[in-house]
Chain A
Amino acid sequence: MSALPYAVADTAVVARRNLLRIPRQPDLWVSFTIQPVMFVLLFVYVFGGAIQTPGYDDYVDFLMPGIIVQTMSFGGFVTAIGLSDDLRKGLIDRFRSLPMSRSAVLAGRTLADVATNTVAIVVMVVVGLLVGFSFSSSPLEVVAGFGLLLLFGYAFSWIFAFIALNSSSAEGAQALGFMLIFPLTFASSAFVPPESMPSGLEAFANANPFSTVVDATRALFVGAPAGDDVWLGVLWCLGLIAVFATLSVYRYKRTVST
C-alpha cells in the first residue's frame, strides 16, 4: 500500500481516539461551552449598553458573529492541551515509534477538534437566540457561515498545535496562546467597530484576519455588506492551515518529549 491511504487511515484512527476521549474529560468542556457563554453574557449585559454600533439596532446582532469567531479561536486551546498532555505522558513517543504516518497524530487531533468546535457553535447559537440574536440572511448563507467558522477553528487548531509542540508544558502553551489570541480578538471588529479606535489601532484591526472573518460571518448571518470579506476570510484560513500544518508536521518529526 502506498503512503497516502495509510495517512488517511491512520488519521482516522487517531481522530476516533480523540473523539472517544471528549465525553470522558468533562472538565475540558468548560473551555468550549461555559466560558464562551460567560463572554456572551458579559458583553451583552455589562459592556453592550455602552458600545455604539452604528447600523445595528441591537448590540447582540453585532456581537454574536464576533464572539462565535472568538470561540472558534479558543477551540485551539483544546488542541494545545490535548497535544501537550500526549507529549508529557509519553504517548507521542509511542506514536512516533509506530510505523504510522508522520502527519496522522496532528491531523487526527485537529480533525477531532472540529467536533468540539461544532458543539461550541451549537451552544453559542442557542445562547445567542436566547439573549435576542436573530439571523437575518438566507439559510444557505447561514450554513456557509457555519462552514467558514469551522474552517477558521480548524486553522486555529493547527496554529495551537504548533504552539503546543514548541512549549514545554500545557500551561506554557496556554500562556503563549492567550498572548496571541487576546490582541487578535480584541483589536478587531469582533466587539466594537474599528472606527471607534485610535487610528493606529484601527489600521491594525482592519488588517487583522480576525476582522476579515468576523465581517464575513456578519455578512453571512445578519446580511451586513460583505465586500470581499467572505473570500478573503476563506483564503486567510487556507493560508494559515497550509503554513501551520507544514510547520507543525515538520516540528513533530523532530519533537523530543521530556
Chain B
Amino acid sequence: MAQEAAIEVHELRKSFGEVQALCGIDLKAPAGTILGLLGPNGAGKTTAVRILTTLLPPDGGSARVAGLDVVRDAARLRSQIGLAGQYAAVDENLTGSESLEMVGQLYHLGRAPSRERARELLERFELTDAADRLAKTYSGGMRRRLDLAAALVARPPVLFLDEPTTGLDPRSRLQLWETIEARVAAGTTVLLTTQYLDEADRLADRIAVIDHGRVIAEGTPDELKSRVGGERLEVTLEEYDQEPAAIEALAPLADERPVCEHGILVMPLNRSAGGIAEAVRRLDSANVGISDIAVRRPTLDDVFISLTGHAAEEPADEQEAAA
C-alpha cells in the first residue's frame, strides 16, 4: 500500500457569518516534511490549523491528518497531533515542570512516564533551571519553548505550529528553528504557518501561499522564487546625477533596459554577458562611481508581492478573520 500523506486537505471550506475564511483549499504534506502555510494576517492560516487540529468543524471539503479524518476520527486524531499556538498557551500559575507533567497525563502517558518526559523536555529546551519556577516569571522566548515542549510531550507524528516565532528575538528564533528541524529529521511531519518569508524559506520543504482564504501558489521555495525570474544585479551609485550614464553603460548587458531610482540601479543579470565583473568594468570605464554592487537572488518577498500585489507583512492590527 502506498504511504498516505501525513496531511491531506481537499476543498476545505469555512465561513464565519459573511466572512469566507477558507474558500476551498487543497494542501498536502508527505510524512517527515515541513509544509509552510504562508500568508498575511487574516489570510485563513489559523482557521486552517484550527480545523486540522479538531478545534473547529469545517463547513465543507475533507481533511485527513495521520490517516484520520478530522471530523469523523477527531477523538483518535487528538493523540496523534501536537499544537503550539500563535500566542504561547502556557499556564502562568504553574511551573514549567507542572505544566508538562499535566499535559503528559492528559495524553494518558501515565504519571511516572509523564514526569520523566517533562524532565527530558525541560532539559532539551534549556528550561531545567526554570523548571520549578512559575511560568509567569518566564521571558517570551522561554514561554514559546515551553509551549513547543508541551506540543511535543507525546512525540506526536504530526505537529502544528501556528506562527511559532512571532515576536521572538533573533536568537530564540534560530533555536526554535533548529528544534523544529531536529523533530523533522526524526520523522515528524510539521505544518507551520508564518508570515515571515525567511522562516518559510529556511524551514519548509513545500510552501502554500494563502491569501483571502485561497491557495494562490504552491511549490518548493526554489520553484516559487523561479516564478519571479532569475538573479538581479543591484548597483548603488555614488551620485544620483550619474544615473543616465550608468544605464547607458550597463544596457548592453541585459535584455531589458535597467531601471534606476533613488540612485539604485536594478537589472536582470545575464551571466553569459560577463556577470558582475563585466558590469564593474563597464561602470569603471564610463567613470561612474559606485558605493555598492551586488547580485540579488529573488526572495519570497518578491514572490509574495508578484503574486498578491501587496507585501506579506501587513499592519499587525488587522486581526486574523474570526480566528
A interface residues, Cβ below 8 angstroms from B: 1, 6, 9-10, 13-14, 16-17, 20-21, 24-25, 89-91, 93-100, 104, 256, 258
* Least CB separation from A104: chain B residue: B106
Asked if B5 lies at the interface with its beta carbon under 8 angstroms from chain A, I say no
Complex: A24 Cα to B93 Cα, angstroms:
6
Known: A98-B106, A98-B107. A93 touches B83 (CB 8 A): yes
B94-129: CB near A (< 8 Å → 1, else 0) gives 100010001101111000000000000000000000
Question: 22 A-B residue contacts at CB 8 Å?
Answer: A6-B108, A9-B105, A14-B106, A16-B102, A17-B91, A17-B94, A89-B91, A89-B92, A90-B85, A91-B89, A93-B89, A94-B89, A97-B83, A98-B106, A98-B107, A99-B76, A99-B106, A100-B107, A100-B108, A256-B50, A256-B55, A256-B56
Chain A residues with Cβ below 8 Å from B322 are: 256, 258
Known: A17-B91, A91-B89. A99 touches B105 (CB 8 A): no
Which 4 A-B pairs give the minimum distances between C-beta atoms?
A: A90-B89, A99-B79, A99-B78, A21-B93
**Interface pair B54/A97, CB less than 8 Å apart:** yes
B interface residues, Cβ below 8 angstroms from A: 50, 53-56, 75-76, 78-79, 81, 83, 85-94, 98, 102-103, 105-108, 134, 150, 322-323
**Interface pair B93/A94, CB less than 8 Å apart:** no
Known: A6-B108, A20-B98, A258-B323. A98 touches B78 (CB 8 A): yes
**Interface pair B85/A99, CB less than 8 Å apart:** no
Shortest C-beta distance, B50 to chain A (Å), equals 8
Chain B residues with Cβ below 8 Å from A9 are: 105, 108
Chain B residues with Cβ below 8 Å from A1 are: 108
> Within the complex, which residue of A10, A17, A89 is in contact with B98, where a contact is CB–CB below 8 Å?
A17
> Within the complex, which residue of B76, B89, B93, B106 is in contact with A10, where a contact is CB–CB below 8 Å?
B106
Chain A residues with Cβ below 8 Å from B89 are: 89-91, 93-94
Chain A residues with Cβ below 8 Å from B94 are: 17, 20-21
Shortest C-beta distance, A99 to chain B (Å), equals 4
Complex: A14 Cα to B94 Cα, angstroms:
12
Complex: A17 Cα to B81 Cα, angstroms:
23
**Interface pair B92/A99, CB less than 8 Å apart:** no
5 new A-B contacts at CB < 8 Å, known A25-B93, A97-B81: A89-B92, A93-B89, A97-B78, A100-B107, A104-B106
Chain A residues with Cβ below 8 Å from B108 are: 1, 6, 9, 99-100
> Within the complex, which residue of B78, B79, B87, B105 is in contact with A13, where a contact is CB–CB below 8 Å?
B105
Chain A residues with Cβ below 8 Å from B83 are: 93-94, 97
**Interface pair B87/A90, CB less than 8 Å apart:** yes
Chain A residues with Cβ below 8 Å from B134 are: 24
**Interface pair A100/B93, CB less than 8 Å apart:** no
Shortest C-beta distance, B7 to chain A (Å), equals 15
* Least CB separation from A92: chain B residue: B89
**Interface pair B106/A97, CB less than 8 Å apart:** no
**Interface pair B150/A94, CB less than 8 Å apart:** yes
* Least CB separation from B86: chain A residue: A90
**Interface pair B103/A98, CB less than 8 Å apart:** yes
**Interface pair B85/A93, CB less than 8 Å apart:** yes
Complex: A229 Cα to B11 Cα, angstroms:
59
Chain B residues with Cβ below 8 Å from A96 are: 54-55
Complex: A93 Cα to B78 Cα, angstroms:
12
Chain B residues with Cβ below 8 Å from A90 are: 85-89
Residue among B83, B86, B89, B322 with the highest chain A CB neighbour number at 10 A? B89
Chain B residues with Cβ below 8 Å from A10 are: 105-106
Complex: A9 Cα to B109 Cα, angstroms:
12
Shortest C-beta distance, B78 to chain A (Å), equals 4
> Within the complex, which residue of A21, A25, A93, A100 is in contact with B106, where a contact is CB–CB below 8 Å?
A100
Complex: A104 Cα to B106 Cα, angstroms:
10
Chain A residues with Cβ below 8 Å from B79 are: 99
Residue among A9, A13, A258 with the highest chain B CB neighbour number at 10 A? A13
Complex: A104 Cα to B308 Cα, angstroms:
45
* Least CB separation from B78: chain A residue: A99
> Within the complex, which residue of B91, B98, B105 is in contact with A91, where a contact is CB–CB below 8 Å?
B91
**Interface pair A99/B107, CB less than 8 Å apart:** yes
Complex: A99 Cα to B74 Cα, angstroms:
9
Complex: A144 Cα to B21 Cα, angstroms:
55
Chain A residues with Cβ below 8 Å from B87 are: 89-90
Chain B residues with Cβ below 8 Å from A97 are: 53-55, 78, 81, 83
Complex: A223 Cα to B210 Cα, angstroms:
71
**Interface pair A99/B91, CB less than 8 Å apart:** no
Chain A residues with Cβ below 8 Å from B85 are: 90, 93-94
Complex: A93 Cα to B150 Cα, angstroms:
13
Chain B residues with Cβ below 8 Å from A100 are: 78, 106-108
Complex: A99 Cα to B79 Cα, angstroms:
5
**Interface pair A93/B55, CB less than 8 Å apart:** yes
Complex: A60 Cα to B323 Cα, angstroms:
52
* Least CB separation from B82: chain A residue: A97
Complex: A10 Cα to B111 Cα, angstroms:
12
